[in-house]
Structures are given as structure tokens and as C-alpha cells.
Amino acid sequence: MAKVKMSKKSTKIDMTAMCDVAFLLLSFFVMTSTAKIPEPLPVDTPASTRETKLPDTDLATITVGDKKVFFGIAGQDLRREALGIIAEKYSVTFTEEETKRFSLIDGFGVPVGNLKQLISLKGDERNKPGVQPGIPYDSLDNQLREWVLAARTAAKNAHQTELKIAIKGDAKEEYPTIKKVIDILQQQKVNKFFLVTGLRSEDF
Amino acid sequence: MAELNTGGGGGKKKGHVRSKKQDASVDLTAMVDLAFLLITFFMLTTSLSKPQSMNLAMPDKTEDQTEKPVIDVADDRTMTLLLGEKNQIVWYYGLPDSPIEGPTKVGYGKNGIRKELLEKEKTVLSKYGDPKKGLIVLIKASKKSTYRNLVDVLDEMAIAKVPTYAIVDITPEENAMLEKEGLYTK
């Protein structure tokens, strides 16, 4: 009897190429994603339904939480420039090394007097809670105003653009503190800014 | 599923020692699975890490009063929200001395202030019949309100598509109004 033999086909596929592609993509995403930088003042931002993204460049962020105010500028060149303006204003001098180290700090919250000390600290020591007391922003010693002004001037000089300002407030922060910060900005005729928020659905 | 064949077992014939034939193919399924899992993880986290933001434009505070045009606004177009403590709002419609409606205490969210806003929007629209003359909302945050309250209210403005709104300083009369509702303590 002639038997028709079924040809046995292997169910195995060669996965080498697939594996290659997967790891290529994986390495791409690992390299392009930016690691989350520890913040000196962690805040819990309130949620909103709006999905506008924050711009990346020419942006200064004012972080408000626990009645303290921290300031951060995006871009190393702007940080250098702003530090120069502040140094001139408060007649302190920073060495080239200090300026370079400062340009790597994302956000800080110390009075100008303590800035040298902060710069000399190591990155992880800098972000320990309690190390940075916040930037003074009351009417007697309004350093926040000077910093905003310096950052705006720096953006004007370096990029010929108007600096965008974002306010990152803690959800539980009382309104008067936020109001004070907004007032400082409005005194400089900055009437438009971004409020940093989290994301939520419309159904709440 | 592991396919590392070592070819052991019935390989001996006539006492000859044959060199083992090794299969070099490794099963890559698990590895590919892992790789794709990580890809998904990195893809999702990168796009989500960029913070969301909300644009806010405050009214200009120019001191120059001489050039300021006087804007007359009908009282039946304005609604005022007073943000008090305990995450509650007091709202009134019309003038503070003789409100057309209110003051009423409501909460935040879908069943609270949003309902009122949408309702008032409809009332104003039917009264004026002109989309350019829509509802005006004044947001007045008291000292006891939090930043979350402010963002929540601004968010409601976006959801309800209120055409005109502004953040204004609260007056002592309105603080008293909040105090009466138990939402303000000095």
C-alpha cells in the first residue's frame, strides 16, 4: 500500500532578526529617554484635563511648595548668563569653575549669599531635604524678582526670545503664596505663564 | 522549549565513539519577549514624563488709569466664584450687594460647580442670543483656598468653555459672605 507521507514542517521560526530589531529599539529608547532628575523641592502638582505640553527651551520654572520658592532655568547657557547678571547685581564674583558647576544645577533655592556654598556641595547632598531654604521673595529682600529678571534678560540676550515662565505649585499650597509669586511676575509685566499640572480625565 | 541539544543517548554504535553533533540554535522566544516588554516600558515612560501645563493669562495691571476704557458689563452676565476652605465654593450671580441668584455653597467637580456653570452659560446665551456676549466668570480665591482649588476652577472653565474669566482679588464683603457659609475663618 502506498502511503502518502505528510511532510513534517518545523514550527520553529528563526528569531534572530526579530531579536536584533527589538534590542536595537530598546537601546534607542534607553538612550533617548532622560532619567528623572531628583528635585530639590518635590511637589505634588494638581491635576487638570488640559494636555498642553510644557515647552523645553527658554523656560524658567518657579517651584512653590511649603511656603518655599525654588527657581530653575532650562538650558546651560541661560544659567551661566543669569548667574553673571546676578553676580553683578549683588557684587559677588564666581570663578569659571563655579559658573560651570552652577550651569549643571537644574533648580535651586538658596539666597544669593549661600549660592557659593551650594555650588561646592555634591549633587546628592544638594538635594537632601532641608539643605536649601528657598529663595527670599518678600518685599524687603526680593531675590526671586531679581532672578526672574536676570533669566529674562539672559534669554533676550542669548536667544532674542521672551522667556516663558512656568509655575509649579504644590496642590496643598495656600493661595496667598501663589498670589505673591504671581504678583512678582506681574510687576514685571509678565502676564502669561504656564501652570504645571498632572493629567486626569474630565470625569471627576 | 530549551533547544540546547546535546545529542546524548543512542549515539553509540559498534563501540565507536562519535563526536557529538551540537545544534547551535538557541530558543530566543523568552529573550524577545523581554526585549519587547522593555521597549514598551521605555516608550510609554518617555512620552509621559513631559509635564502637562495650563496656560494662564492674568489681566494687565498697568497703573496708568487715564487710558483705561470704562467697560460696562451687565450684572446678569457675571457669575462670581468665591473659593473658600474645606474645598468648597460659594457662587453668586449678579452683583454682590443684590445677587440675582445665590450665594450658594457647592463643591468641585462634575456634580458641583460644573453643573451650575453650564446652566448659567445657557441662561446667558438664551437671554442675549449672541455668542460674543457670553458668561463672564470672576474667580476670587480667598486666603484659605489652596492652589489645587485654583487649578480645579481654571480647569472647570476649560471644560465648560466659559468665554471670559479672570482671577480677581477678593473683597472684604465677599470674605464675609464666605464666613457666613462657614468657609472662612480669620
Residue pLDDT, tens place only, B44-103: 777 666 677 777 777 776 665 555 555 667 777 788 888 887 788 888 887 777 777 777
Distance from CA of A132 to the nearest CA of B (A): 22
The pLDDT value recorded for residue B71 is 64
The pLDDT value recorded for residue B9 is 47
Classify domain B75-180 at the CATH class level. Answer: alpha beta
HSE-CB for B26 with a 13 A CA cutoff: 6
Cross-chain Cβ contact B52/A54 below 8 Å: yes
Residue A168 host element (H or E): strand A164-169
Residues of A in contact with B141 (CB under 8 A): 175, 179
Q: In what order do the strands lie in the sheet with B78-83?
A: B99-106, B89-94, B78-83, B136-141, B164-168
Residue pLDDT, tens place only, A149-204: 888 888 888 888 888 888 888 888 888 888 888 888 888 887 888 888 877 777 76
Q: Which residue has the higher pLDDT, A156 or B185?
A: A156
Beta carbons of B162 and B121 less than 8 angstroms apart? yes
Least confident window among B10-14, B39-43, B149-153:
B10-14
Residue pLDDT, tens place only, B138-158: 888 888 788 888 888 888 888
The pLDDT value recorded for residue A131 is 77
- Window 128-167 of A, Cβ < 8 Å to B: 166
* CA–CA–CA angle B169, A164, A168 (5° rounding): 60
Residue pLDDT, tens place only, A72-129: 888 888 888 888 888 888 877 888 888 888 888 778 888 877 877 778 877 777 777 7
Beta carbons of A63 and A150 less than 8 angstroms apart? no
- Window 55-94 of B, Cβ < 8 Å to A: 55-62, 83
Q: Which residue has the higher pLDDT, A202 or B34?
A: B34
In this prediction the pTM is 0.73
The pLDDT value recorded for residue B12 is 46
Name the residue with cell 451650575.
B116
The pLDDT value recorded for residue A137 is 81
* Phi and psi angles of residue B124, each rounded to the nearest 5 degrees, phi first: -65, -40
Stretch B132-137: mean pLDDT: 79
Beta carbons of A151 and A163 less than 8 angstroms apart? yes
Strands (E), chain B: 52-57, 78-83, 89-94, 99-106, 136-141, 164-168
- Window 112-151 of B, Cβ < 8 Å to A: 141-151
Q: Which residue has the higher pLDDT, A21 or A139?
A: A21
Question: What band does B11 get if pLDDT is binned at 50, 70 and 90?
Answer: very low
Cβ–Cβ contact A11 with B under 8 A: no
CA distances from B105 to A109, A167, B90, B183 (A): 39, 29, 4, 9
The pLDDT value recorded for residue B8 is 47
Residue pLDDT, tens place only, A45-79: 788 887 777 777 788 888 888 888 888 888 888 88
Residue pLDDT, tens place only, B101-131: 777 788 887 777 888 888 877 887 787 777 7
Residues in chain A: 204
Cross-chain Cβ contact A19/B46 below 8 Å: no
- Give yes or no for residue B7 having a pLDDT over 50: no
The alpha-carbon radius of gyration of chain B (Å, integer) is 33
What are the structural domain ranges in chain B?
A: 75-180
Between CA B147 and CA A178 the distance in angstroms is 7
CB-neighbour burial class of residue A126 (10 A; exposed 0-12, middle 13-18, buried 19+): middle
Cross-chain Cβ contact A166/B53 below 8 Å: yes
The pLDDT value recorded for residue A153 is 84
CA distances from A184 to A32, B65, B143 (A): 37, 20, 18
**Strands B164-168 and B136-141, how do they pair?**
parallel
Q: Which residue has the higher pLDDT, A38 or A7?
A: A7
Cross-chain Cβ contact A169/B51 below 8 Å: no
Name the residue with cell 502511503.
A3
Cross-chain Cβ contact A52/B38 below 8 Å: no
